[in-house]
């Protein structure tokens, strides 16, 4: 690095200077360019393997004629649909360019350099990124070793012990990414009752729809009891709109008002707003997605059992498998076979790969490739 570049870097915030950017799953086009493969299966980014629904495609085509116009900056129509479905007021909703955008808005709204932010070991990589970007102090709670809470998951008791007067935000993902671990209703509710009111709890429910209805927490109902609670959800996973970038949070009206002051104008685009509204009402597509995920989970876990591999039980649309040795070589060999999965050494799990649940044929392609690589 030359002196001019060094001087420029010194102008940035200290946290930004040391920040390691988020690394997404390898794009299919990049692997195709590198290796010239005829078939590639991507099971790296927890996307919906069904693709967008026909209803969504029709809605997007219809609004494309208005692409020269700015979208509704307040997202009135989508907020109205969400409010009706969730039984909340539209004033409680904040829309984002994916729920990732909402997480960043929360950080810029509530966190400063004097604050501490708590999240779990093996939790979503964006939590440390947004914390460091605003210059706050990250406090990482050791993951559970089993017992009261799932192994590799959040240890809520340990997280509570880390709370002090400097704590401003606690991030909790349920189900968690990349481990797929899940906290029960009683565990989460108990945590919220003990969390001081000066601490914002962000409950990240990006994979909420994949949890069976009898196990889901009615977290939206808790908003009247806990004014410091923010729930984030997304259309990227079960609704199949990852490429559209649309997500949202639900909170008290007061918190939503603050978030919407920081939110960029027109942070959600015309096509995404229309697609999300249509997908919200497409229960047939959602049910098919969940069924496909359940079938694929069984297919992969059966294969892992046959191969003598252990895995972390998952409530999401992915599963994290323990290879018992460094996973990077296996990841690279799978790439050569045309399969893209997710190495998670950056999460502190160097022996694990995270596998998104695909279609039956995609899962089979991966399983066959894994058998060949392990042999």
Give start and end residues of each alpha helix (H) in 87-197.
99-110, 126-133, 156-161, 185-194
Q: In this structure, is residue 64 part of a structural domain?
A: yes
Helix (H) or strand (E) holding 31: helix 28-35
Mean pLDDT over 181-192 rounds to 98
Q: Please tell me the distance from the alpha carbon of residue 304 to that of residue 306, in angstroms, as a whole number.
A: 5
What CATH number is given to the structural domain containing 156? 3.40.640.10
pLDDT at 77 over 80: yes
pTM: 0.93
pLDDT(7) > 90: no
**For the residues 170-193, what does the mean pLDDT come to?**
98
Among 281, 310, 326, the domain boundary falls at 281
Structural domain harbouring 101: 54-281
| pLDDT over 80 at 347, yes or no | yes
Residue pair 72/273 in contact by the 8 Å Cβ criterion:
yes
Predicted pLDDT of residue 28? 76
With 60 as the cut, is the pLDDT of residue 4 above it? no
Within this chain, do residues 77 and 134 fall inside the same structural domain, yes or no? yes
In the numeric block, the tokens 């970007």 are attached to: 133
Domain boundary among 281, 308, 339: 281
Q: Are residues 154 and 229 in the same domain?
A: yes
226 domain-assigned:
yes
Res. 254: pLDDT tops 70: yes
8, pLDDT greater than 90: no
Q: In percent, how much of the chain has pLDDT > 90?
A: 89
Query: Which has the closest alpha carbon to 212: 175, 254, 247?
Result: 175
Q: How confident is the model over 316-334, as a mean pLDDT?
A: 96
| Predicted confidence (pLDDT) per residue in 18-52, tens digit | 777 767 777 777 877 877 787 899 999 999 999 99
The pLDDT value given to residue 310: 97
Of residues 290 and 38, more confidently modeled: 290
Average per-residue pLDDT for the chain? 94
The band of 9, judged by pLDDT with boundaries at 50, 70 and 90, is confident
Q: Give me the CATH number covering residue 345.
A: 3.90.1150.10
- Domain end among 217, 249, 281: 281
Is residue 113 in some structural domain? yes
For the segment 151-161, the average pLDDT, to the nearest whole number, is 98
**Residue 284 reports pLDDT greater than 70:** yes
**Hey, CA dihedral for 149, 151, 154, 159, is it positive or negative?**
positive
What pLDDT shows up at residue 169?
Answer: 98
In the structure, what pLDDT confidence band is assigned to residue 1 with cuts at 50, 70 and 90?
Answer: very low
pLDDT for 19: 73
Residue 334 in this model has a pLDDT that exceeds 90:
yes
Domain count, the chain: 2
């Amino acid at each position: 690095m030359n002196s001019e570049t060094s001087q420029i870097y010194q102008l940035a915030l200290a946290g930004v200077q040391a920040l390691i950017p988020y690394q997404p799953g390898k794009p299919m086009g990049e692997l195709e360019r590198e290796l010239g493969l005829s078939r590639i299966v991507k099971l790296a980014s927890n996307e919906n393997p069904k693709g967008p629904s026909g209803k969504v495609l029709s809605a997007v085509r219809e609004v494309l004629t208005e692409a020269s116009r700015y979208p509704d900056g307040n997202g009135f129509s989508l907020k109205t649909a969400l409010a009706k479905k969730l039984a909340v007021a539209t004033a409680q909703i904040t829309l984002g360019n994916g729920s990732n955008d909402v997480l960043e808005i929360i950080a810029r709204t509530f966190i400063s350099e004097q604050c501490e932010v708590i999240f779990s070991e093996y939790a979503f990589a964006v939590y440390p990124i947004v914390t460091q970007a605003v210059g706050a102090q990250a406090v990482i709670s050791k993951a559970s070793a089993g017992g009261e809470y799932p192994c590799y998951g959040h240890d809520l008791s340990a997280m509570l012990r880390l709370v002090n007067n400097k704590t401003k935000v606690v991030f909790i993902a349920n189900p968690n990414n990349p481990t797929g671990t899940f906290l029960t209703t009683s565990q989460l509710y108990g945590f919220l009752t003990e969390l001081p009111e000066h601490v914002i709890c962000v409950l990240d429910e990006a994979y909420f729809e994949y949890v069976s209805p009898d196990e889901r927490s009615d977290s939206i109902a808790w908003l009247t009891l806990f004014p410091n609670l923010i729930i984030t959800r997304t259309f990227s996973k079960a609704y199949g709109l990852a490429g559209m970038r649309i997500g949202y949070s639900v909170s008290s009206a007061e918190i939503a008002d603050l978030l919407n002051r920081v939110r960029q104008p027109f942070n959600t685009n015309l096509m995404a707003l229309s697609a999300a509204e249509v997908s919200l009402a497409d229960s047939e597509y959602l049910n098919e997605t969940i069924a496909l995920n359940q079938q694929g989970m069984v297919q992969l876990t059966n294969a892992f059992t046959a191969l003598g591999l252990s895995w972390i039980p998952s409530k999401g649309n992915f599963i994290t498998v323990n290879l018992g040795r460094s996973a990077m070589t296996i990841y690279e060999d799978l790439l050569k076979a045309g399969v893209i999965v997710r190495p998670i050494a950056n999460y502190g799990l160097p022996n694990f790969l995270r596998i998104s649940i695909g279609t039956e044929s995609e899962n089979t392609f991966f399983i066959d490739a894994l058998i060949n690589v392990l042999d």
